[in-house]
């Protein structure tokens, strides 16, 4: 887990350094010393909306999650304890390459969805959960809602609270 912490911290530090070096202002001559909690104030909550480049209409576009830094931010915002963050990011990287648009149709129970590859088992109706487990817990309405990055993160946290990391086959338990 220490290696994973260093990996996440390294990614966050690199992103911050890049932002400072190539951002809209000149970076300071000294290397920044940034804590993880400060980084969370630099990284916006996801998904964000970006106004479309037009003067005649007001249209917004949801930006998909595509990096593991964004995934780490989502996991914390969804309520995952910080000491579980390394595992959550490792699973997301392994399952979907931290991409919110990922879908694995070959998984059982009608496939697995988005960042944490939430299996259809959790959102499809069953004998025990006639409307679906995630629906019964008020997290979503249909499995397709899992493509929303924050909904996927909330589903991951709910499943983790229920079953730990064991529903994810990429979890090695170390």
Can you list the domains of the chain with their CATH numbers?
Answer: 45-163 (1.10.530.10)
Does 137 score more than 90 pLDDT? yes
Taken in order 80, 84, 87, 90, the sign of the CA dihedral is positive
Does 43 score more than 70 pLDDT? no
The rounded percent of the chain whose pLDDT value lies above 90 is 56
Three-state secondary-structure class, residue 118: strand
Three-state secondary-structure class, residue 35: coil
Confidence at residue 89, expressed as pLDDT on a 0 to 100 scale: 95
Distances (CA, A) of 73 to 3, 37, 39, 115: 19, 11, 9, 13
Residue 39 confidence class, pLDDT cut points 50, 70, 90: very low
Which token pair is 147?
């493509």
């Amino acid at each position: 887990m220490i290696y994973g912490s260093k990996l996440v911290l390294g990614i966050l530090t690199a992103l911050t350094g890049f932002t400072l070096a190539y951002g809209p202002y000149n970076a300071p001559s000294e290397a920044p010393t940034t804590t993880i909690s400060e980084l969370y104030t630099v990284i916006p909550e996801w998904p964000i909306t970006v106004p479309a480049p037009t003067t005649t209409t007001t249209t917004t576009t949801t930006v998909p999650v595509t990096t593991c830094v964004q995934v780490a931010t989502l996991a914390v915002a969804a309520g995952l304890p910080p000491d579980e963050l390394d595992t959550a990011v490792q699973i997301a990287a392994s399952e979907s390459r931290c991409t919110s648009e990922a879908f694995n149709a070959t998984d059982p129970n009608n496939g697995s969805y988005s960042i944490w590859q939430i299996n259809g088992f959790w959102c499809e109706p069953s004998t025990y959960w006639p409307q679906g487990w995630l629906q019964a817990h008020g997290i979503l309405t249909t499995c397709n809602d899992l493509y929303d990055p924050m909904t996927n993160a909330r589903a991951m946290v709910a499943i983790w609270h229920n079953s730990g990391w064991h529903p994810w086959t990429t979890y090695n338990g170390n």
